[in-house]
Amino acid sequence: MTQTIRKVVFPVAGLGTRFLPATKAVPKEMLPVVDRPLIQWAVEEAAAAGCEEFIFVTSPHKGAILEHFSPAPAYQQVLEARGKHDELALLQAGLPENAKITEVFQDAPLGLGHAIWCAREAVGDEPFAVILPDDMVLHSTGCLSQMVKQYDQVGGNLVAIEAVPNDQTQRYGVLDPGPENGALVGVNGLVEKPAPADAPSNLAIIGRYILDPKVMADLGAFNKGAGGEIQITDSLANLIGEVALHGFKFEGARYDCGNRVGFLAANLAFALSQSGAGGQSDLGENLRSVLRDIMDS
């Protein structure tokens, strides 16, 4: 019997250098895809998967992230006075009622593993989810919901994976795969950012994890891995004998919004998917027509 996944960690303390100058004053996670920031898409995905406590690992110069999820009384009053009820609902920023928000700081960007370790006290002794907001998955129920269902069957550590082009393995944590069972892949080992010639497969970990709290002790050893950073993949690999690790081939299209092409592609794909979806039902159609004009000119 596995425990319910109630807590989700958002590591959002990175520098976002690939988006300079946009990320000089605005955190990368606040860049909008269609009409809401990346971090709000991530929060909505976690809420849809049943999470109730939202833990942000942030840094002091990224205050805009928490501000986005705080009440905005002055704005609210103006909208109320003008009878703008739809807009008032949008101020809620995707958080479920009674959501608990926790903020912890990562003093220096020492790597994703270190960012997750910074959340250890807020996580406590229970399994938890991790979402990297700059990886977006377009799917009706979201990627994390799919993972929670699988986690209920296998427990342990679970990472979302996808097959990437062979010449891109050096961007990811890569699986040394074991036996496959449907969408689940056993894991014999992991290599962080291998050159294509050294990669044990092309199955790469993307920004969704369900983790056993035992990872925190291993991360706390502060072992530096690829790029001199503290890597979550190294801790997952170290724990394989103790905590089973599975890769999960999720459904849906993934967009790496950490780079410009991926970010632009996500904007197009998410906007085009809104065709006939009510509310902004003509957004997709209008965009299609604009794109045709641009391509033809």
Rounded to a whole number of angstroms, the minimum distance from the CB of residue 266 to ligand UTP is: 14
Residue nearer to ligand UTP on the CB measure, 16 or 94: 16
Q: Which residues contact 84 (CB under 8 A, 6 or more apart)?
A: none
Residue nearer to ligand UTP on the CB measure, 13 or 237: 13
Rounded to a whole number of angstroms, the minimum distance from the CB of residue 147 to ligand UTP is: 18
The DSSP element (H or E) to which 70 belongs, if any, is none
> Which DSSP state fits 227?
G
Nearest residue to 163 via CA among 112, 131, 206: 206
Q: Do residues 150 and 29 touch, judged by C-beta distance below 8 A?
A: no
Give 28: exposed, middle or buried? Use CB within 10 Å, 0-12, 13-18, 19+: buried
Cα 192 from Cα 173, distance rounded (Å): 4
Residue number of the CB closest to ligand UTP reads: 14
Cα 244 from Cα 260, distance rounded (Å): 35
DSSP H stretches of helix in the chain: 38-48, 63-68, 73-81, 85-90, 112-117, 120-123, 143-154, 215-219, 232-238, 260-272, 283-296
Residue nearer to ligand UTP on the CB measure, 11 or 284: 11
Q: Which residue in this structure is represented by tokens 């928490």?
A: 66
Q: Which residue in this structure is represented by tokens 């898409």?
A: 41
Nearest residue to 245 via CA among 187, 190, 205: 187
Helix (H, G, I), strand (E, B) or coil at 288: helix
For 40, the token pair is 């709000």
Residue nearer to ligand UTP on the CB measure, 57 or 215: 57
Rounded to a whole number of angstroms, the minimum distance from the CB of residue 106 to ligand UTP is: 5
Rounded to a whole number of angstroms, the minimum distance from the CB of residue 205 to ligand UTP is: 12
Rounded to a whole number of angstroms, the minimum distance from the CB of residue 243 to ligand UTP is: 22
For 101, the token pair is 């928000």
Cα 166 from Cα 164, distance rounded (Å): 6
What is the contact surface with ligand UTP in residues (CB under 6 A)? 11-18, 28, 57, 106, 109-112, 114-115, 132-134, 258
Rounded to a whole number of angstroms, the minimum distance from the CB of residue 206 to ligand UTP is: 11
Residue nearer to ligand UTP on the CB measure, 38 or 79: 38
Rounded to a whole number of angstroms, the minimum distance from the CB of residue 250 to ligand UTP is: 18
> Which DSSP state fits 11?
E
Residue nearer to ligand UTP on the CB measure, 55 or 240: 55
Residue nearer to ligand UTP on the CB measure, 23 or 201: 23
Residue nearer to ligand UTP on the CB measure, 129 or 283: 129
